[in-house]
Structure 1
């Protein structure tokens, strides 16, 4: 399943569907006499595909005169067909589902949460239930009146970190406009393969990989503009700890850009290098993550109502912190820092000493054509 990172730019409303079972009855007209049940039903109920109707017959959701019969059953006319209409999984996608949510800020307009790795943001094929959207509807039922339960941007399933959710249509509209204007600042921290040589800007077009439709890729034309600013925080023997700020928000943007730059993210099953040199301890830490080492660390936006600039940070999750601890230990770095909080505080302070404005970049552009 391809989890989309693109910023939302539309406001299509939705409402949770009623899950109560619906039955419909038809009397078989004489002109359908002699037809098989599946063929006759396709004529009686043209709004559903024949394959779906056949599946319902096989699953005993269709009766003829009160009896279950096979799809090939021949009708003689005058029978009563009853169908228990089955909702698609997609029609159940917006059902509230209670789940723990790490809400770090909330008011009447917005809420900010720290999404764990493994949680799909929005329902889609293969993930109709158990998504963040389902959890938001359970946490705040009023979000059923807001398009996409207030979600305005996404993270990949296996990317952890900060997201902002709008609690009103007006707030969602304002946040979408900020995303379109590229004034929402989203900063990620990640572990990349190899030694990233310098800070810089990656600017390419990103589109669907023509050789593998479940992946995205840098393309020479026809894609969407994608810009990522990369800053190196620490370098180790075979890996680098980096910070990436998104200027745009394309599907898998950081993962694709780092792969294109020759430094895919550690643990990335889709874009990574499974043969990346590493010690047994580092390999074990990467395997234990079971995901790409990518975390949405900092989020900054203008509050839709108060117009106040708000900034939030979410500490590294335990799995990425453990990987970095192993890398630091093997590199003989700063053994006096023993806790995640101490380390996060030091790195956070160092990072904020530098201004992320574009003018401060050395205009080192990494551009690789595939």
Structure 2
């Protein structure tokens, strides 16, 4: 049973705000000690923070069904908490909590020790269970690979990649490591650099600085918004320009949902193959169109990841080679533009872009801000 004993903000980068104890007496029962930080809150609201992997409506139903005991007695949803109380929750089986089941799968593990794991996620793999994807996710695979992750909120996942985005992710294997990594994400000291192919000849290097929130016209999408969004900053650097596409690098300061995809769409250069935000306005040959269609995903890869090791304090940096489908797209684009095929000189060609870790710093850009929504 997954131990969901930490309050986690459901954003692109997870955030643990409270520290408290939780234990499981049986497979289907969780015991909590209410943290003082939740004093004054209603039971139903507090429980939603203590068990963020369950919907609030489901938790409220459990309370009404008598599945939640407060200090050993049947609880009421409106009961006010003072901190220090004991909560006993009899977890009711459902698709939602059965999702936290170990499932053996091949994981491309780049690095692993007692505190952290760095892996190269393939395109097509969902990171976390949700409606429509209750099994076969990265979380399920992590629980099978390391059963001890059942004691860490969200099986140690501290940031996400979209289903069809490939590349590097770091996973915490202990609660202290997770807290440390989350603090680094909050402080924006984790370096996350992506490689992508954008539609059109991108004319700029620079910073895209906007607010991102739910699309007011389609709640399933994100968008640049004027009000109510969260700050989102993406640094963009063009590596190569082709006839109707560009090979770009994007460095994240923030980690909003679909951030790079939304920002490049807003800059009128959506990512090639993006099924949600793509709407190519730039002409391309039939051959390139066929390759992009065959990609069956957005051309986006989490290429480099750097962070401070939670235990040793050592600066760690990892790179994940571009996947084969991405290389094939670049090969076709380069050949069409009269350049050498990237596939015939893969290592040599890749090395031309491998510069100093800080080569994407703001001072290297031609302009400070590329686009800000007014």
Which shifted more, 243-252 or 273-282? 273-282
Q: Deviation string for 1:38-96 (max 9, x for gaps)? A: xxxxxxx9639xxxxxxxxxxxxxxxxxxxxxxxxxxxxxxxxxxxx983110101100
Q: Distance in 2 between matches of 1:352 and 1:331?
A: 27
Q: Corresponding residue for 2:275?
A: 269
Matched residue, 1:305: 311
Q: 1:336 to 1:139 in 2, by over 3 A?
A: closer
What's the TM-score, normalizing by structure 2?
A: 0.76
Which residue does the alignment assign to 2:115? 109
Q: Which moved more, 1:155-164 or 1:359-368?
A: 359-368
Offset, 1:148? 0.7
How much does 1:275 deviate? Answer: 5.6
Question: Could you tell me how far apart the structure 2 residues matched to 1:296 and 1:167 are?
Answer: 21
Inter-partner Cα distance in structure 2 for 1:281 and 1:356: 32
Does residue 176 of the first structure (1) align with residue 182 of the second (2)? yes
**Deviation of the 1:11 alpha carbon:** 6.6
Paired position in structure 1 for 2:302 = 296
Separation in structure 2 between the aligned mates of residue 46 and residue 167 of structure 1, nearest angstrom:
35
After superposition, where does 1:102-141 map in structure 2 within 5 Å?
A: 102-141=108-147
How far off its partner does 1:359 sit?
3.5
Corresponding residue SS for 2:294: helix
Q: Give the number of equivalent residue pairs.
A: 304
Q: CA deviation at 1:358?
A: 2.7
Contact map agreement 1:189 1:297 (CA 8 A) in 2: yes
Please state whether the residue corresponding to 1:283 is helix, strand or coil. helix
1:116-156 residue CA offsets vs partner (Å, 9 max, x unmatched):
00000011111111110000000000111111111100000
Q: C-alpha distance in 2, partners of 1:337/1:16?
A: 55
Give the secondary-structure state (helix, strand or coil) at the position aligned to 1:282.
helix
Deviation at 1:337, TM superposition (A): 6.6
Please tell me whether the aligned partners of residues 159 and 296 of structure 1 are also in contact (alpha carbons under 8 angstroms): yes
The aligned counterpart of 1:185 is 191
* Superimposed CA distance per residue, residues 165-197 of structure 1 (whole angstroms, 9 cap, x where no aligned partner): 011111111000000000000000000000100
- Give yes or no for the alignment of 1:369 onto 2:373: yes
Unaligned regions of 5+ residues in structure 2, if any?
1-9, 29-62, 67-90
What secondary structure, in the 3-state scheme, does the structure 1 residue paired with 2:219 have? Answer: coil
Q: Provide the rounded CA distance (Å) in 1 between the counterparts of 2:349 and 2:256.
A: 30
How many angstroms apart in 2 are the aligned matches of 1:263 and 1:135? 35
- Tell me, yes or no, if the aligned pair for 2:200 and 2:244 is still in contact at 8 Å: yes
Distance change (3 Å), C-alpha of 1:149 and 1:17: farther
One of 217, 222, 232 as aligned partner of 1:216: 222
2:374 is the counterpart of 1:356: no
Corresponding position of 1:347: 353
Separation in 1 of the partners of 2:342 and 2:277? 35
Cα gap change, 1:297 to 1:329, in 2 (>3 Å): same
Distance (whole Å) between structure 2 residues aligned to residue 337 and residue 131 of structure 1: 31
TM-aligned CA deviation for residue 354 of structure 1: 6.3
Give the TM-score, by structure 1 length: 0.77
Does the C-alpha gap of structure 1 residues 221 and 17 become closer, same or farther in structure 2, counting only changes over 3 Å? farther
Alignment of 1:334 with 2:340, yes or no, is yes
Higher Rg of the two aligned structures = 1
Conservation of the 8 A alpha-carbon contact between 2:291 and 2:329: yes
* Distance of aligned partners of 1:368 and 1:14 in 2 relative to their CA distance in 1, 3 Å threshold: farther
Q: Which residue of 2 aligns with 1:71?
A: none
- Aligned pair 1:165/2:183, yes or no? no
**Matching residue within 47, 55, 65 for 1:47:** 65
Query: What per-residue deviation string (whole Å, max 9, x for no partner) do you get for residues 321-365 of structure 1?
Result: 1000000001011358714333222322xx438622234334331
SS of the counterpart of 1:135? helix
Q: Which moved more, 1:85-94 or 1:255-264?
A: 85-94
Mapped contact 2:327–2:342 kept (Cα < 8 A): no
1:237-293, CA deviations, whole angstroms, 9 ceiling, x for partnerless residues?
100000000000000000000000010000001000156421111111111110000
1:230 and 2:236 are equivalent in the alignment: yes
Matched, 1:194 2:200: yes
Which runs of at least 4 in structure 1 moved beyond 3 Å after TM superposition? 11-19, 351-354, 359-364
Query: Which secondary structure does the structure 2 equivalent of 1:226 belong to?
Result: strand
